[in-house]
Chain A
Amino acid sequence: MTAPLDVARIREEFPILRTLVRGKPLVYLDNAATTQKPRYVMDALSAYYETLNSNIHRGVHHLSELATRVYEESRAGVQRFLNAADPREIVFVRGTTEAINLVAQSFVRPRLRPGDEILVTHLEHHSNIVPWQMLRDEKEAVLRVAPIDDRGDVIPEELERLLTPRTRILALAHVSNALGTVNPVKRLVEMAHRRGVPVLVDGAQAVAHAKVDVRDLGCDFYAFSGHKVCGPTGIGALYGKAEHLEAMPPWQGGGDMILSVTFEKTTYNRIPHKFEAGTPHIAGVIGLGEALDYVASRVGLDAIAAHERDLMEFATARLLDVEGLRIIGTAREKAGVISFVLEGVHPHDVGTILDQEGIAIRTGHHCAQPVMERFGIPATARASFALYNTRAEVEALAAGLRRVREVFRP
């Protein structure tokens, strides 16, 4: 049993939460789009520029040595965060999107023949659909989609049927950004591996809400973005099993990813540097390291998970009390996200009226148009939670939604 979160103290650590919107306290419930940042992360960014700024992996001078050390410490931090076996299995990228593109281009592309298959699920974010479509079109491959049921759960038996001798990758979300569904990743990975199919997990919506253990999941690749887990934008990480990363060609050429260059031949650097061409987002990497330390060590992911589970249950009950509200996505296990529609009111109008009350939610298709189409709706309103949200904020949301009903009363 973990100690409950001291949310009041946590809120003190996020300066932006003191913002007033039109004179009302900000109620930030758009965490699936991006989370707010604790002051430790901002401080780490400033400290890098104020005391360490220099390029890494090349200077013999003092600052470069220090910056390189802090940069590589962040890599080890990501390794611990994901429980990867080795820091060399962590590649820094701009975010989940870039990580997926890296795997598509460098791992899947060379092994894809015409007629081969790529398998995704119906609840993917566009960034786990489009890179595969681009590859499909180039290689005359086939993109298969594992269906979801009316609750928004992937149907394991259906997915299993779609794993064929021609399947070259299964790419699926750990947690759906549009519905909050938590996929039974471990079970699906075992299924895929029994047929020799490697698995990429899009962890963008998962890492902020519960402990992720890539060795327990057994996945071949795991991608996430820093900004959705209290870190800076523009930085994320790809975990890949060392054996895969070793065998993969680099995907961008440039500095830092080489050992030696002549006009005749270039010898590539070892992993993970082989995949980090050019001067990286050093400040971002350091900020990401600080963010992961914050959620995993200073606060603790078990405590965060328990707090959010409570909030999700409370919010689900409170929202269902609102007349005409229907929750979209009622998966057996959900994390962080409640998508809903209000009868007779378009989500965009819901969002505008809530914004007048200082409540920030997301409205639209959430970059998951196939999910919207599956449920026969053009859009939803989505409230998404983080460690610093409170029951009082959920009450504010419910009150805001009653206000929406008043405005639209027939």
Chain B
Amino acid sequence: MSDLGDLYQEVILDHYRNPRNFGVLPEAGRAARGDNPLCGDKLYLQVRMKGDVIEDLRFKGSGCAISVASASMMTESVKGRTLAEAQALFERFHPMVTGRGAAEGLGKLEVFSGVSQFPVRVKCATLAWHTLRAALEGRPDAVSTE
């Protein structure tokens, strides 16, 4: 039971029910699609840069609680950050959800640390981040977690 509680924390359920930065971003400039074919998660992410800074971003799509909440919280955590900062966040987020790194210093994103107990759900948590990387690197075609 404690495992389930770790996975479906109230913050995660809240972001699933009321995703932030959800919708269409006018004059985005950069975008990418993300697919998780195994479970049918689909994500469309748009990013507007100002110089080196992620000025704004929005996402659309459908998916499980983990993937939607992760997308929502990803957008909150990288908005206003530089490319390098966003990249650094992902580089710490990924080890946390795969159980290979500590959760400290990730702030709100630490709620996803419970995902590491559910190996098949890791790709739900990382889909939005892979899609962000694709958008920033100018690869608009669907990234797949498979």
Contact = CB atoms under 8 A, between A and B. Distances in A.
**Interface residue tally on B, bucketed by range:** 20 to 34
Contacts of A347: 39, 64
A356 B39 contact: no
A352 interface: yes
Nearest to B37: A365
A352 B118 CA distance: 8
A348 interface: yes
Interface centre among B3, B41, B64, B65 (most CB of A within 10 A): B64
Nearest to B118: A352
A356 B63 contact: no
| Interface of A, helix, strand, loop or mixed by DSSP | mixed
B88 interface: no
B13 A356 contact: no
Contacts of B120: 352
B78 interface: no
Given A348-B124, A352-B7, A356-B4, A379 B65 contact: no
Contacts of B1: 356
A346 B3 contact: no
A346 B4 contact: no
B40 A365 contact: yes
A129 to B, nearest CB: 16
B17 A410 contact: yes
A349 B118 CA distance: 11
Contact of A407 (B4, B64, B118): B4
A363 B64 CA distance: 11
Given A348-B124, A378-B62, A378-B63, 6 more contacts: A346-B65, A347-B39, A352-B118, A353-B8, A356-B1, A356-B4
Shortest beta-carbon contacts, A-B, top 3: A378-B40, A346-B64, A348-B64
Interface of A: 344-349, 352-353, 356, 363-365, 372, 378-379, 407-408, 410
